[in-house]
Chain A
Amino acid sequence: MLKIMKQSIFKIKENIALTDSIFKMVLLGDTSDLRTGQFVNIKLDGFFLRRPISVCDVDKKSLTIIYKIVGEGTEQMSKMTAGEKLDLLTGLGNGYDLTLAGKKNLLVGGGVGIPPLYKLAKDLKGNCTVVLGFNTATEIFYEDEFKALGANVIITTIDGTKGVKGLATDVLKDIDYDYFFACGPEPMLKAVYEQTKTSGQLSFEERMGCGFGACMGCTCKTITGYKRICVEGPVLVKEELVW
């Protein structure tokens, strides 16, 4: 499997708010050798550890990340402006294995787990059903972007302010699919694991030290052995999970 980590400087092209706490940042730099579902690890001035963030979209010159303000680091990121530079490690993690995809693919995303599914939907040429789960209508982002790819998009909100009331996993039983991809908070992933009847791939999140396999900070147990979320993950196939 292609695995090329690079350290390079990216320039911010834009950094805009999608909701109150979710931001989209487009970065210009070396985007060669990136795989869908991988992440980047970002060095921020004044912070010791890098911030691992999944890649939402990639083209020849730029990559897009969508991140939520969850602490002081991401808050500082949200205040950065076009033209500022960031030190990134790119090409991290295994990414999705598209050779395993089915004919009728289901993508399930929750909150900031949604971004990496966008490039995946693009790779699938929009030929997929996408379930996007949010807490409430004001937190919804990228609905139109997924629709523009031609995907069949289903929105769920926990409070019912838009789309189907409930969790993303509540609508799965009514969808016809033969393979799935999921990314979101761990309780959502566990519900997807329990409620899906086909094989699929799930993308995980964990606190990381390095992001490239050296510190062993993000290890999890699988039936095929211990795996580092940052190297053997973040994408794990359903059959190897211990749940």
Chain B
Amino acid sequence: MVNAKADAGVYKNTKTRVKTDAVKLGKKTNSKLNTKVILCGVQLDNPIIPASGTFGYGYEFAEFYDINCLGSLSFKGTTREARFGNPTPRIAECESGMINAIGLQNPGIDAVINAELPKLREVFSKPIMANISGFSVEEYAYIAERLDEEEQVEWLEVNISCPNVRGGGMVFGTDSKAAVKVTKAIKAVTTKPVIVKLSPNVTDITEIAKAVEGAGADGVSLINTLIGMRIDLNTKQPIIANTMGGFSGPAVFPIALRMVYQVYEAVKIPIVGIGGVSRAEDVIEMMLAGATAVQIGTANLINPFASKEIVENLLNIMEKYKIKDLKEIIGGAH
């Protein structure tokens, strides 16, 4: 899949400058630093993956920069039918973070396969992580089956942790038995690695992680957002129309890191670390806690170039902390 000779990208002018076009092309370079990781048998040029819901279907970000510098991307959570989502306001600001209650707005699986993915393919040649969600076990399985024919989709990321919809999403992620059912149903209809995205809104996240591992999941990604809310002092009412929403941003990073650390000790399958990652240093921390790859979420919304800048800065930070090969640090803090 990837040129075995290709190294981690060019690292020139060792102090500050990184030549990004070489990073994205994965050309052999004079660098001895290796950013490649293998996630469920699929190699990524680097572990950086924009998180679902913060990057659309990718192609719009390609208007801002060449998104091929990324390891992969996880597209917007997709359901069987098109969804409008929740009423507005859907967004509230917090100290070092934000709350969203989008409610899985997406064009539905048909439009994703027929319109969104073809547009993404034109601008993105890297493996794609398909984020799927549903309101029944059958819906999850149906979408998984539909995506099984999409070559560029290398992993299914199963969102059983959306806090913003009733009767779906998180209902499956806060109950081990339901999580097992969804995982098994998807595994039965797909040949692709299945990564189950976990909710932090549980007493013990390792319990759900172990349950989905037992059900055949190939990996887990964590964390989804934490349920939170804000109240407008002028109106004395919740800011979010849906009252509550998912809290994300740098403020949740220590919680996410702790959970990745705990899950790493509980399961053998690879972990995708998510939650408040905003800089290359955070990526290294996540990997030391046990993440094989790392998703960048809310940071993309504040700075549309965040994922690109993190990729560019990764080599600097690796050199600074004397890390030659990223995959060797996975779980290094244990």
Please give the residue numbers on chain A whose beta carbons come within 8 Å of chain B beta carbons, in ascending order: 3, 5, 7, 43, 47-50, 89, 206-210, 212-221, 226, 231
Q: Is the CB of A48 within 8 A of B304?
A: no
B43 within 8 A of A: no
Given contacts A210-B304, A215-B301, contact A48 B91 (CB under 8 A): no
Q: Is the CB of B91 within 8 A of A207?
A: yes
Q: Is the CB of A5 within 8 A of B63?
A: yes
B249 within 8 A of A: yes
Most chain A CB neighbours (cut-off 10 Å) among B95, B249, B303: B303
Task: Please tell me which stretch of B25-33, B81-89, B138-146, B179-187 contacts chain A, meaning at least 4 of its Cβ atoms lie within 8 angstroms of it.
Answer: B81-89
B102 within 8 A of A: yes
Chain A nearest Cβ from B52, distance in angstroms: 11
Q: Which residues of B contact A50 (CB under 8 A)?
A: 302
Given contacts A214-B60, A214-B304, contact A207 B105 (CB under 8 A): no
Point out the residue from B55, B85, B94 that lies within 8 Å of A219, measured CB to CB: B85
Q: Is the CB of A215 within 8 A of B84?
A: no
Residues 302-334 (chain B) with a chain A CB within 8 angstroms: 302-305
Q: Is the CB of B305 within 8 A of A209?
A: no
B47 within 8 A of A: no
Q: Which residues of A contact B93 (CB under 8 A)?
A: 47-49
Point out the residue from B84, B89, B94, B97 that lies within 8 Å of A206, measured CB to CB: B89
Q: How far is the CA of A170 from the CA of B89 in the complex (A)?
A: 29
Q: Is the CB of A214 within 8 A of B61?
A: yes
Main secondary structure of the interface of B (DSSP, over half): loop
Q: Which residues of B contact A212 (CB under 8 A)?
A: 60, 304
Q: Which residues of A contact B203 (CB under 8 A)?
A: none
Q: Which residues of A contact B239 (CB under 8 A)?
A: 207
Q: Is the CB of B89 within 8 A of A207?
A: yes
Q: Which residues of B contact A5 (CB under 8 A)?
A: 63-64, 304
Main secondary structure of the interface of A (DSSP, over half): loop
B197 within 8 A of A: no
Q: Is the CB of A215 within 8 A of B102?
A: yes
Which A-B residue pairs are the 3 nearest by beta carbons?
A210-B301, A217-B91, A207-B89
Q: How far is the CA of A214 from the CA of B301 in the complex (A)?
A: 7
Q: How far is the CA of A57 from the CA of B163 in the complex (A)?
A: 41
Point out the residue from A7, A210, A215, A226 that lies within 8 Å of B305, measured CB to CB: A7
User: Can you list 20 pairs linking A and B with CB atoms under 8 Å apart?
Assistant: A3-B63, A5-B304, A7-B303, A48-B95, A48-B302, A50-B302, A210-B301, A210-B302, A212-B60, A213-B60, A214-B54, A214-B55, A214-B60, A215-B100, A215-B301, A216-B76, A216-B102, A219-B85, A219-B88, A231-B60
Q: Which residues of B contact A208 (CB under 8 A)?
A: 91
Q: How far is the CA of A215 from the CA of B50 in the complex (A)?
A: 12
Chain A nearest Cβ from B231, distance in angstroms: 14
User: Which single residue of chain A is at the shortest CB-CB distance from B107?
Assistant: A226
